[in-house]
Amino acid sequence: MKVNIEIDCTPEEARAFLGLPDVSKVNAVYVDNLTKALQGVTSLEQLKELSQQWAPMGQFGIKLFQNILEGGAAFAKGATGRAKKDD
């Protein structure tokens, strides 16, 4: 049997329902700081230097983070990587 449930709610309502913290104030500060930091960038070299400060591990760190997120999403969908046994 397959049951589908569709819930129509805002992201804020979903976070409250799931018991997740409200990070809107932290996000606003982050976006503000990011905007201020990028206002002084006028060349690709400055952008590269700024990105290296934010992600010291460079592409490896970004790829590692991406793999963690993809693994979590696959796990949430039930894709554990193991073959299912026939009963």
Q: Residue 38 belongs to what H/E stretch?
A: helix 24-39
Domain locations along the chain: 11-77
Looking at the predicted structure, is the pLDDT value of residue 41 above 60?
Answer: yes
**pLDDT digit string (tens) for 65-83?**
778 778 777 777 775 555 5
Query: What's the pLDDT at 49?
Result: 77
Query: What's the pLDDT at 42?
Result: 78
Task: Please give the C-alpha separations between residue 32 and each of 39, 49, 85, 87, in angstroms, as whole numbers.
Answer: 11, 19, 52, 56
